[in-house]
Structure 1
Amino acid sequence: MSFKTDIEIAREAKKKPIQEIGEKLGIPTEHLLPYGHDKAKVSQEFIESIKNNRKGKLILVTAINPTPAGEGKTTTTVGLADGMNRIGKKAAICIREASLGPCFGMKGGAAGGGYAQVVPMEEMNLHFTGDFHAITSAHNLLSAMIDNHIYWGNELGIDERRVTWKRVLDMNDRALRDTVTSLGGVANGFPRQTGFDITVASEVMAILCLSNNLEDLQERLGNIIVAYTRKREPIYCRDIKADGAMTVLLKDAMQPNLVQTLENNPAFVHGGPFANIAHGCNSVIATNTALRLADYVVTEAGFGADLGAEKFMNIKCRKANLSPDVVVIVATVRAMKMNGGVARKDLGPENVQAVIDGCPNLGRHIGNMKSFGVPVVVAINHFVTDTDAEIQAVQEYVASQGSEAILSRHWELGGEGAEHLAERVVEIADSGISQFAPLYVDDLPLFEKIERIAHSIYRASEVIADKKVRDQLRAWEEAGYGHLPICMAKTQYSFSTDPNLRGAPTGHTIPIREVRLSAGAGFIVVVCGDIMTMPGLPSRPAAEGIGLNDDGEVEGLF
């Protein structure tokens, strides 16, 4: 059986002018700033005018730990919202923008797939409206101004060995992880060791996604700690006097992007922080805008629920005063088999026992999400190789966990294939049974917050941290940062810090390698294990298969 590729399906989309999509949400044409015919930014003036509108219901789509078998979180997000609109509900989508690194690397784009996609797919996965370029420029302006300040006399007394602010690039490039700058003599400044992160790991990205408006943005940018003096006193971005110019560079990027699904339903695509080193959610301003305009908003959080959803609850909801009404956990029969020990090449044949053996990973995520007081529905993202017996095994297991698993065929059928899922999610959202509460309170000590996540979400037996880490956490508490939430940075492939430990492990340890203060974004990053903030390309990067065909159309994106 042959299927059209995602890009072929997207190219056949019958898109409507973006003004018509805006009309569905009541956005006047004059408040849409068009980028071509099929994408636009929503003006800050309009966003300010609707801040007192009644909020709609918020649905979070998350997933089991990612596997090479594929889960389809974004595809399910899109299909669910299309399904809601098909049953007569006013629904919108909020997702992140795609990074060029994964697009040209191994993961691919971030626009959904099959007949549950957001379009224009090519532009969304490439330069889009230039937001990531603006973030890259703002970040690197600060980097340049730090080195320039040191060159012209270093009035602030920056210790060149303690400059913590790197540079960024929106590309996977392992050669730039560790670099030396300012070689070549006196005219080029003072040589020092530094490096590059990928743009989605920038604190500027996290700040943009957590800011409510331009004033909030500039204040947060000013709070970034960029270096320390020899007396270990922090140097802030505002001390370098870069916050104003950075805000100017980010002025347009702060405005949410409006596009559409294949079924011409509204989708806000804005921001894209990493889900391990940052909080992995689309922007607060896009989510709040959508909630003021639609009756139901379907959003997603990066990677599995142990990373993205936990941070959505404990960081984004806390910062933005959000409260999800339903959590949808995406799972596939194929992924259950992999968690049950089946190799990727053997996923095709029916294997009910392997499905059952792999279900505890799903069960752990169900229990974790329920611990936040939010009702949970499981969406089984259908693959053509799934058998009735395998699907039934998942549904029976989920029922034993006090939840419900619904088969959804949105990849194949679009919104029509997700109608049953949509009906059930709407019913639960409207019931008002959600009693959302974060996992920990603000004034809990930082190390106890880390332990709470490790014990409650990962089911670890202990957290290991040396004296240097514990002393640093106590110092930040004394400096007034003890109220900040925790952003755990660990592998997405496991509840543990071992990417090869699938299923639902218990009794493992969580070793903390280092902690970082993101004072502007407003969270503490806790690095566990080996986390790359500048990924490398695989042996056969996706870029090898991307190009233009004879008609000048993009080929090879996925």
Structure 2
Amino acid sequence: MAVKTDIQIAREASKLSIQEIGKKVGIDEKSLVPYGHDKAKVSAEFIKQQAGKPDGKLILVTAINPTPAGEGKTTTTVGLGDGFNAIGKKAMICIREASLGPCFGMKGGAAGGGYAQVVPMEDMNLHFTGDFHAITSAHNLLSAMIDNHIYWGNELQIDSRRVVWRRVMDMNDRALRQITASLGGATNGYPSESGFDITVASEVMAILCLANDLEDLEKRLGDIIVAYRRDKTPVYCRDIKADGAMTVLLKDAMQPNLVQTLENNPAFVHGGPFANIAHGCNSVIATRTALKLADYVVTEAGFGADLGAEKFLNIKCRKAGLAPAAVVLVATVRAMKMNGGVTKGELDQENVEAVKSGCANLGRHMENIKQFGVPVIVAINHFTLDTEAEIAAVKAYVSEHGSEAIVCKHWASGSAGIKELATRVVETVEKDEARFEPLYPDEMSLMQKIETICTRIYRADEVVADKAIRTQLKAWEKAGYGHLPICIAKTQYSFTIDPERRGAPEGHSVPIREVRLSAGAGFIVAICGAIMTMPGLPRVPSAEVIRLDSEGQIEGLF
């Protein structure tokens, strides 16, 4: 019997109306702004009314470094939310929206998989409620207004060589990484170098995900540094007078999106920064609202724990005053084998020794999470060809390192396959052993913060940064930005900057190629190695097989 695809399973879902989903967590019908029958935005007024309520428990789902074998972090996030509800706990899920770039590239969608999915899967992976379009439009409005200001006399005395605000689009397109703009004569403006980032790397995306409300959103947008004058003083978005109009464009996008799982449990899907080039977490406003509505809130952070979890804990939790009660670390037997040196073509063969060798990557992530004072439980996302001996090897390794690993079969069985994990997480949380603290204090210097992440999380021997970068960091400290946390842009596939170097390497260096100040979002971005803020499409992009069938239904989306 053929295994059904994710899209087939999602299409067969028995969905409730979005009003019924809202009722499950106390959202009345008038507080929902429906987008069709199965998705809605939650009104800002309703969110304000929840302020005095106590918070539920926050559970972070993270993972080992991603491999071609697959890990299933979002699938586990969705499954665990369903699992909590199945054992009688009132739970919600908070995940990010999907970018069109990876949907048409190679990564695929972001709605989970198998019988642990968020629906409507097609809508969520494509245009959804238009949030990404609003973010793209707001970002590019600012770009247009900067060029327009320079064209009409440049009253602010912007040095056109030092415009640092690029453009964005929600697509992978390497041809736009570096461009020359305003060619074609005087009527088109002053020629200048520019470029595009993908929308998920936009500071506007980060701001939307970290802002508390519309007032905070507008202030943060105004704080964006867009350019410098010849005397190197900064020019802000508010100087260009774009912050008000940008807020108008983002007004609806600020409202969290409510959808449901295949088991009709409520889920917020809001915001979508990538964790390899941005901070990789869903919006603060969605997470905070969910904590007021549910006893347990399950959220995820992008890619492996060295990126997503580190940024969740050091940036999002610091900025929003959040503290996770427990962390679930997702791993697979297949990924352990790849970390142990097995090729993708050999994954179906039992190899206990490779599993044991590859567990070093898992162990490194466990150690890193414990540095933050939060208990960690390992979820072994089960694949059909995993053998008992291989599973036993992972369990034994985790036990030897002071935690517990639990086999989860939510992909095949939904909540029934993850009840044991849900129960164990509840037991862990009720012990109240979490003593969360960020990895570094606000007052530490910017360079020391970078070095702390690189040495304590990546286990690098050194950080390589030339004099210009160190001088720039000191200048930002002098300008009052020294208290900001660090957001490192780095390959997701390895603790190092080399995507091919799996396992738990030591004795490596991390070169800082560039630093960027995201004054509105409230962090410093350190770009490492060859990481790109505008990805390219692979040799065979997923877009080649996505189409409509004869009945008008989407094929090829996963």
TM-score, normalisation: structure 1 = 0.99
Structure 1, residues 40-75: CA drift from partner, whole Å, max 9, x if none? 000000000001110000000000000000000000
Give CA deviations for 1:75-126 in whole Å, capped at 9, x if unaligned.
0000011011001100000000000000000000000000000000000000
Give the aligned partner of residue 112 of structure 2. 112
Shift of 1:531: 1.2
Partner in structure 1 of residue 139 of structure 2: 139
CA–CA distance in 1 between the matches of 2:508 and 2:349?
Answer: 33
Q: Does the residue aligned with 2:407 lie in a helix, a strand or coil?
A: strand
d(CA) in 2 for partners of 1:467, 1:285: 39
1:488 matched to 2:514: no
- Match in the other structure for 1:81: 81
- Structure-2 separation of matches of 1:181 and 1:334: 47
Separation in structure 1 between the aligned mates of residue 152 and residue 356 of structure 2, nearest angstrom: 65
What's the counterpart of residue 508 of structure 1? 508
How many angstroms apart in 2 are the aligned matches of 1:492 and 1:233? 35
2:448 corresponds in structure 1 to: 448
Q: Identical aligned pairs, as a percentage?
A: 75
Q: In the alignment, what sits opposite 1:303?
A: 303
One-letter code aligned to 1:471: T
Match of 2:246 in 1: 246
Q: For residues 274 and 402 of structure 1, what CA distance do their matches in structure 2 show?
A: 31
Q: How far 1:2 moved relative to its partner?
A: 2.6
- 5 Å-filtered alignment, 1:320-469, equals 320-469=320-469
Which amino acid is 1:51 matched to? Answer: A
What is the distance in 2 between the residues matched to 1:373 and 1:16? 39
- After TM superposition, the structure 1 = structure 2 runs for residues 197-346 of structure 1, keeping only pairs within 5 Å, are 197-346=197-346
2: CA distance, partners of 1:184 / 1:437: 55
Residue aligning to 2:17: 17
Aligned position for 1:51:
51
Match of residue 62 from structure 2: 62
Aligned residue pairs, count:
558
Letter in 2 for 1:227: A
Partners of 1:197 and 1:448 lie apart in 2 by: 28
**Which blocks of at least 5 consecutive residues in structure 2 are unaligned?**
none
The amino acid that maps onto 1:291 is: L
1:127 partnered with 2:127: yes
For residue 208 of structure 1, what is the amino acid of its counterpart?
L
Name 1:29's counterpart in structure 2. 29
Report the Cα distance in structure 1 between the residues aligned to 2:461 and 2:6, rounded to whole angstroms: 43
Counterpart-to-counterpart distance in 2, 1:162 and 1:531: 22
- C-alpha distance in 2, partners of 1:444/1:268? 35
Report the Cα distance in structure 2 between the residues aligned to 1:292 and 1:219, rounded to whole angstroms.
25
For 2:327 and 2:2, how far apart are their aligned partners in 1? 33
| Aligned mates of 2:306, 2:111 — CA distance in 1 | 22
Runs of 5+ unmatched residues, structure 1: none
Deviation sequence 1:151-198 (CA, Å, 0-9, x none) = 000000011111111111101111111111111111111111101111
Q: Which amino acid aligns with 1:491?
A: T
Following superposition, the deviation at residue 539 of structure 1 comes to 1.1
What secondary structure, in the 3-state scheme, does the structure 1 residue paired with 2:285 have?
helix
Deviations 1:331-374 (A, max 9, x none): 00000000000000000011000000100000000000011000
Give distance in 1, aligned partners of 2:470 and 2:538.
Answer: 36
Q: C-alpha distance in 2, partners of 1:536/1:299?
A: 28
Matching residue of 2:40: 40
SS in 1 for 2:160: strand
Distance 1:459 1:176 in 2: 34
Using the TM superposition, name which of 174-183 and 346-355 deviates more.
174-183
| Alpha-carbon distance between aligned partners in 2 of 1:201 and 1:394, rounded to the nearest angstrom | 35
What corresponds to 1:186 in structure 2?
A: 186
Per-residue deviation, 1:458: 0.8
Alpha-carbon distance in 2 for matches of 1:243, 1:232: 22
Shift of 1:276: 1.9
After superposition, give the CA deviation of every residue in 1:250-292 in whole Å (9 maximum; x if it has no partner). 0000000000000000000000012122100000000000000
- C-alpha displacement at 1:242, in angstroms? 0.1
**Whole-angstrom CA distance in 1 between matches of 2:476 and 2:193:** 25
1:454, distance to aligned residue in structure 2 (A): 1.0
Q: Distance in 2 between matches of 1:343 and 1:173?
A: 29
CA distance in 2, matches of 1:57, 1:44: 23
1:544 counterpart residue number = 544
CA displacement 1:190-211 (0-9 Å, x = unmatched): 1111011110010000000000
CA distance in 2, matches of 1:453, 1:141: 35
Q: 1:492: how far off?
A: 0.6
Distance 1:172 1:467 in 2: 32
Q: Report which stretch shifted further, 500-509 or 68-77.
A: 500-509
Residues 399-445 of structure 1, C-alpha deviation per residue, up to 9 Å, x if partnerless? 01100000000000001100000000111112211000000010011
Match of 1:163 in 2: 163
In the alignment, what sits opposite 2:470? 470
**CA deviation profile, 1:510-531 (whole Å, cap 9, x unmatched):** 1111111000000000111011
Amino acid at match of 2:135: I
C-alpha separation between the residues in 2 aligned to 1:37 and 1:151?
Answer: 47
| Structure 1 residue 500: Cα displacement | 1.1
Deviation of 1:213 (Å): 0.1
Question: Any idea what SS the aligned residue of 2:513 has?
Answer: strand
What amino acid is the match of 2:438? Answer: P
Q: CA deviation at 1:541?
A: 0.7
Give 1:514's aligned amino acid: E
Q: Following TM superposition, by how much is the alpha carbon of 1:455 offset from its aligned partner in structure 2, in angstroms?
A: 1.1
